[in-house]
Structure 1
């Protein structure tokens, strides 16, 4: 019978996703059949699953750590923010509604049966399920109807390990404070704690760890040092995107307000001769860029207005006049066209919106969402690509006649006549080493290109070793409880 244990955080972004991936890989290397699970996630960085749905990219990475294909059961509820107050609700990999936060708060408890169905299916196929919470259980104002933290722990009968982030400071208050504010019935689910992201001499925190144990009665599973290679793994949270590299080829990426599926940047940033610079709001696009990459977005029309509000449209036009290259992916591809039509108001107000006019294409927004994995090749180099699509909208126009990709015999993408401005719907292109090499060759890069996928595997193994060294995984296994199927 499978066992399960849940990793919750004393705050957001304490490193839960990374810890779960590391624990999962470590236990997999020990010979356990491990499955990751997150009841509810909020992220616009999604992955396409083997069963044709979408889940948070962190769960896809965790599945990889377990040696499993990603499946919608690993993240049964995914919230994809579209505005500051509303999000698309995805259940079992499929969009079911777009709701305001207030409305979702009233209905989320109705999703618990779907969450438990997924959890039990996973547990039936595993020796142990490592569960990741969301946010923090200390947000007791959100406890009613909760399916992400203590609400799930109670419904599934699973023990909890609470993780604090010492890098932010105040980790003793994070953990002891959570113990204090939780009602007794929720507090009883927490059996142990861990402290994450320590820098320096761990022994200096011995007294702090003892103080937490004394105040809470929880078992100390360890103080985990900062994992310096974390940047080599795909990031899920937009706050984890940062400028990286010090290479001679400079790729500039404007940070859109609803940036989505930005894993396209990871293989580029991993190249030693490439600099990926993320440009924040209020800053101009640098004039020394070789390539401006317009990334995916959860709200193409909204982020097109946001881009113009920053003056980035003017910077982009100047970049093109200087002979620079532009690549638009998914929502960024749609922005490059002449027009975006949204007659049904799928992304907000119905209407026809002027694009950036850099490609002779138009996009029609439609309610049907395309979510699929694809395999094809780059027409210029012949390099094979394994990618995925996750978007609404259909794009047509004269520049589509110069499609630069071929997906199972179907032309994909659009190109300006001089080839300096390209767009396509495919995410994940740059994970293919041969394609990445061929694309970067146009900027003078030759040789020295890395094995991106192999690098991810090596980093997961290093993360597993990190967890074996600094976290008491034997105690964690003892704390895990059998799942009542």
Structure 2
């Protein structure tokens, strides 16, 4: 299979799911690496995503972190066109809308529902851009096409598949139970033309001997008329890859002597900052949920990024975590704030224009002598430089609104490549803050940071992720009917 030359005929395959969190993102990442290993110019695409775990692209915008991982699977730079619509929840009823990498506005769910049709041309334009450079496009749906109450104006599942004339295969998760009902039930609620668009199905996350589900595969095929494409056994290393949804985060990792705790705030963002720490043998990483106190035996409290800093600061206080953090600091513990967590550690956060809600100023946690003013302008840039304390080099990215200034900024945590100071460190050295995400993916910085706390590191993080993607690709190739998928993709748009 090689590039057709005309994007309208570029082979493409859409992976939809029987529900959220059935493993679509991971499967697409593995298939991206599988086809890239075969020499194809494969590209990922997700028309609409909802996640506060975003990544900065090479063309200066932001997309869902899952699509950045899929681009890595393809061995190609990420692009805003791989995820043209990204919804970043700010409240239970509203989200910031990112279109082709840039902030489009903040909308409530009902308001966004009325806007979806106006966004479809931009989504199709991005798909055309991606398809024009590819031999094969792997498209990921969102949620499930069985959510027929959301079908009107849909741009995430069947609405997009119809607009782009894509064949679909269905992913179902057996680990959560009821997998036959989930597939057959999806078939039952779809319209006839939507059923016809689905060309096959596969079962994900099977534990044990897959042949034990042979009868189940036959029953599904008989009841739906869809082709069975295989059963994917549980992939143990899946949890080592960056997660898209904070709901999938486990509460504890590792058994190392250095204990790092992370309070899980309500709008936690860019939590993939934690991923390299999860794999460090010398580290115990513990996530603390609402209602639980911050443990008194922590060496480091890491305040993560937030999509709603002022709201999450109130959430933090409501858990009593501000009292626990103050006690941790008095015991001589280290504190690190990243992005929104950095803003919370300061003296004040001002929102004069009401970007996050009611205009005004709130007191921060007061552990850094800095003040933050939230502004409408959003920074989405790559960042490279060196850690001021150790000289260790780092690379990462910034996604934030607001400017932070104050006396502790005169002791920056980082020095960017162009010489600018970045972040802040308290006078006693116990508290640090930075706007740079992805710091811990840099082996040199992570090693130096952990060494300063008495833990050693020999983890080559990015190489380990690359190896896991290769292992995942081999895993999928051994159990799925890959040739049938290529045939479906090649024929589906004709």
TM superposition score normalised by structure 1:
0.99
2:200 matches 1:200? no
Query: How do 1:288-307 and structure 2 match up within 5 A?
Result: 288-307=297-316
**In the alignment, does 2:54 pair up with 1:22?**
no
How far apart in 1 are the matches of 2:406 and 2:493? 56
Identify the residue that residue 278 of structure 2 maps to in structure 1. Answer: 269
1:225 aligns with 2:255: no
Partner of 1:412: 422
**C-alpha distance after superposition, 1:160-219 (max 9, x if no partner):** 001111000000000000000111121111010000011111111111111100100101
TM superposition outliers: structure 1 runs of 4+ over 2 Å = 481-485
SS in 2 for 1:480: helix
**1:81, CA displacement in angstroms?**
0.4
Moved more, 163-172 or 379-388: 379-388
One of 437, 456, 467 as aligned partner of 2:447: 437
Q: Are 1:60 and 2:68 matched, yes or no?
A: yes
- 1:236 aligned to 2:237? no
Match of residue 157 from structure 1:
165
Q: CA–CA distance in 1 between the matches of 2:164 and 2:290?
A: 43
8 A contact 1:34–1:128 mirrored in 2: yes
Output the CA distance in 2 between the equivalents of 1:87 and 1:455.
34
Q: Which residue of 1 aligns with 2:263?
A: 254
1:451 paired with 2:460, answer yes
Once residues 478 and 32 of structure 2 are traced to their aligned partners in structure 1, the CA distance between those partners, rounded to angstroms, is 14
Separation of aligned partners in 1, 2:435 and 2:311: 18
CA distance in 2, matches of 1:249, 1:221: 45
2:96 aligns with 88
Q: Distance in 2 between matches of 1:411 and 1:32?
A: 42
Shift of 1:288: 0.6
Cα distance between partner residues in 2 of 1:280 and 1:205: 37
Question: Mind listing any 5+ residue stretches in structure 1 that lack a counterpart?
Answer: none
Q: Does 1:211 align with 2:215?
A: no
Unaligned ranges ≥5, structure 2: 5-9
Question: What is the distance in 2 between the residues matched to 1:314 and 1:442?
Answer: 26
Which secondary structure does the structure 1 equivalent of 2:447 belong to? Answer: helix
- Rate the CA distance shift 1:483–1:180 in 2: closer, same or farther, 3 A: closer
- Residues of 1 paired with 2:493 and 2:275: CA distance? 39
* Deviates further, 226-235 or 90-99: 226-235
Change (3 A) 1:206 1:246: same
Of the candidates 104, 129, 154, which is equivalent to residue 112 of structure 2?
A: 104
Alignment of 1:382-397 (within 5 A): 382-397=391-406
Shift of 1:481: 3.6
> d(CA) in 2 for partners of 1:209 and 1:354?
58
Q: Does 1:184 align with 2:219?
A: no
Deviation at 1:380, TM superposition (A): 1.5
Cα deviation 1:371-427 (Å, max 9, x = unaligned): 000111111211111010000000000111111210120001111111110001000
Which residue of the other structure, out of 469, 472, 489, is the alignment partner of 1:480?
489
Distance 1:252 1:482 in 2: 51
Q: How much has 1:484 moved relative to structure 2?
A: 6.6
- Which whole-Å CA distance do the structure 2 matches of 1:52 and 1:483 have between them? 33
Maintained 8 Å contact 1:254/1:279: yes
CA contact (8 A) 1:123 1:483 kept: no
The secondary structure found in structure 2 opposite 1:464 is helix
| Matched residue, 2:357 | 348
Q: Which of 470, 480, 483 matches 1:471?
A: 480
SS at structure 2 position matched to 1:356: coil
2:339 pairs with one of 313, 330, 354: 330
TM-score (normalizing by structure 2): 0.97
CA contact (8 A) 2:167 2:493 kept: no
Shift in Å at residue 139 of structure 1?
A: 0.2
Give the Cα–Cα distance (whole angstroms) in 1 for the partners of residues 136 and 492 of structure 2.
9
Aligned-pair RMSD on alpha carbons? 1.0
After TM superposition, give the deviation of residue 232 of structure 1 in Å: 1.6
| Conserved 8 A contact 2:350-2:362 | yes
Separation of aligned partners in 2, 1:478 and 1:57? 29
Give the Cα separation in 2 of the matches to 1:338 and 1:33.
50
- CA deviation string 1:215-252 (max 9, x = no partner): 00101110101110012211111112112111111100
Deviations 1:36-82 (A, max 9, x none): 00000000000000100000000000000001100001000000000
Q: Could you tell me whether the CA contact under 8 Å between 1:336 and 1:355 is conserved in 2?
A: yes
Matches of 2:132 and 2:370, distance apart in 1: 49
Structure 1 residue 263, shift from structure 2 partner: 1.1
SS at structure 2 position matched to 1:208 = helix
Alignment partners' CA distance in 1, 2:229 and 2:240: 25
